[in-house]
Every structure is written in structure tokens, then in C-alpha cells.
Structure 1
């Protein structure tokens, strides 16, 4: 089974993991590395390395944003380990879809590719549909 590591600034990782667990009931095979205020880059590197070492095979790292310390640290690990894929811009819909894919046996590269696709579809804006003045003029309140 592909390992999943979630990381990000502050308590982003543990917060989004909590939401996933609420919806999916389980976080088997998922590790979380927060980067709270006060932690150093060295502490982040150690925490991420320790979390990644808990996995035996392929791993997908989900980071909060491009070029932040958690992302950069994950990329450095991925450069040393060809079994690691790194995805950034993590959102809840993306994470849930990818964990379901992982549970069905998808590979790390398949999961990482799907994360990018699903992540983009999870971003949008709700548009209100306003009634025209003609339709509402006949109604009395």
C-alpha cells in the first residue's frame, strides 16, 4: 500500500487529516508532519525524515503550498528517494479521492497525477442566480 504523508505550515496537516478521518473513519497508512511556529527547518527535516521512514514502499507527500518549507523539505527527500512523489496545493477533496485510490491499489504516480486533476476541480466559485425583476414583481410579500 502506498504511504501518504501530509505536511504544511502551522497545524495545516493535522487539521486536514482530522477532517479526512471524520469523513473516511480511518487514516491507516497516513502520517502527518506539522510545521508549527517556533520549529526550525532542521526540526522539520528530522520530523519529515522520521515520518517517511515509517513507510516501506511508494509514498505520496501532500504539501500545503509550492515553495514553502514543508514542500521544499519533501522535495529534498524525493530527490534522494525515487519512490516519493510530492504534490502541493493540497485540499480536502483531493486528499479524500487520493486516499480512496490508494486503498484500491493505485500506484504513487497514479495517485499524484489524480491529485492534480481532482485538486483543480475542487476549486471554484458559487454563482448566485438572481431572479429577474419581471418574475418577482407579480409576487406579494
Structure 2
């Protein structure tokens, strides 16, 4: 089973996991990290690395971050060269709740890391809808 690491600014990661537990029940083999004002960025990088190592039980780790090119993303990306020889992980930016739900759903059915991240990417894109556009589709 692949591990899941959610890394965001502030408490967003914890809030998303709280919402996920309401929908899917309590989960295991995941960690959350939040970058807060005043955090040392090198220590944050070390926490990300340690979390990936802890979560990788041989099936890899899906790392979900909030924003492309922001500190959580950059620090997770910087870990790649240090970890790539022993740990497989995929890093996805722009995390939303549909993506998180899909990640845990994919993991429940035993998907490998590649299948998992591809399904998560699709769920993220397809989970963005606008009310009037959706109503017009239903009435067409």
C-alpha cells in the first residue's frame, strides 16, 4: 500500500484530512505537514524527507501539496534527488478534496503508485465544476 503525504501552508492538510475522515472514515498510512509562519525551511525539508521515508513501505508515496512552485512544493521537489535511489514518490500540486478522496479510494483497491497518481490527477481536474454550467448540461 502506498503512503500518502499531504503538505500545505498552515493547517490546510489537517483540515482536508478531517473532511476526508467525515466522508470515508478514519484512514491510516498517511501524514500531514503544514508550513507555518516562522518555520525554518530547512527543518521543514527534513520533515518532508523523514515523512516520505516513514510512509514508504515498499510501494512508494504519493505527495500532495497545495500550490505549484510554493514552499511546500519546492521543498518536496528538492527531496527527490536525495530519496530517488531508495524511495519512489510522485509529487502533485493543486490538491483539492476530490483528489484526496481519489487517492484513498485508489489505495483501498490496491492500485500501484502510477495508477494512483494518474487517477488523482483526473479526479482533481474533473472535480472542478460550476453550478450553472452543470445545470445547463442537465437541461440540455
TM over 0.5, yes or no? yes
Larger CA Rg, structure 1 vs 2: 1
Task: Say which structure is richer in helix.
Answer: 2
**What range describes the TM-score normalised by the shorter chain of this pair?**
0.7 to 0.9
Which residue is 2:126 aligned to? 121
Aligned pairs, how many? 130
What value does the CA root-mean-square deviation take over the aligned residues? 1.7
State yes or no: 1:26 paired with 2:26.
yes
Unaligned runs of 5+ residues in structure 2 are: 136-140
SS at match of 2:91: strand
The answer to whether the 8 Å contact 1:65/1:89 transfers is yes
Report the Cα distance in structure 1 between the residues aligned to 2:76 and 2:16, rounded to whole angstroms: 18
Runs of 4+ off more than 6 Å = none
Unaligned runs of 5+ residues in structure 1 are: 130-141
- State the shift of 1:92 in Å: 0.4
Q: Structure 2-normalised TM-score?
A: 0.85
Report the Cα distance in structure 2 between the residues aligned to 1:96 and 1:28, rounded to whole angstroms: 13
Q: Structure 1-normalised TM-score?
A: 0.85
Report the Cα distance in structure 2 between the residues aligned to 1:108 and 1:34, rounded to whole angstroms: 23
